[in-house]
């Protein structure tokens, strides 16, 4: 019987998709804060909206997740420089 284990590249792709999803949601929240849209800040007006600083941190973390999953040497140097 053959093993149907996922390859490492599939996990990297899933990480990149999750990072992109986080960036889309946090970017929409930031746009909601700048435009004053209640729907973009939070899902419904009755819900607590995402804070702008939280949206900014999620935007940066989602971007770093995408870059780290890429395994490109150029981007790794960029992240190391940004963290330092």
Tens digits of per-residue pLDDT, 27-73? 999 999 999 988 888 888 888 899 999 999 999 889 888 887 776 67
Q: What is the pTM of this model?
A: 0.75
The percent of the chain in helix, strand and coil, each rounded to the nearest 5, is 75, 0, 25
Contact 65, 14 (CB under 8 A): no
Cα separation, 53 vs 46, whole angstroms: 20
Integer CA distances (angstroms), 83 to 19, 29, 77, 78, in order: 18, 25, 10, 9
């Amino acid at each position: 019987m053959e093993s149907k284990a996922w390859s490492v590249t599939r996990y990297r792709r899933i990480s990149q998709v999750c990072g992109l999803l986080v960036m889309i949601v946090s970017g929409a929240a930031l746009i909601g804060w700048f435009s004053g849209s209640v729907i973009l800040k939070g899902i419904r007006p009755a819900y607590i909206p995402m804070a702008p600083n939280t949206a900014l941190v999620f935007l940066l973390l989602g971007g770093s997740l995408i870059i780290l999953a890429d395994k490109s040497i150029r981007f790794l140097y960029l992240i190391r420089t940004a963290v330092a």
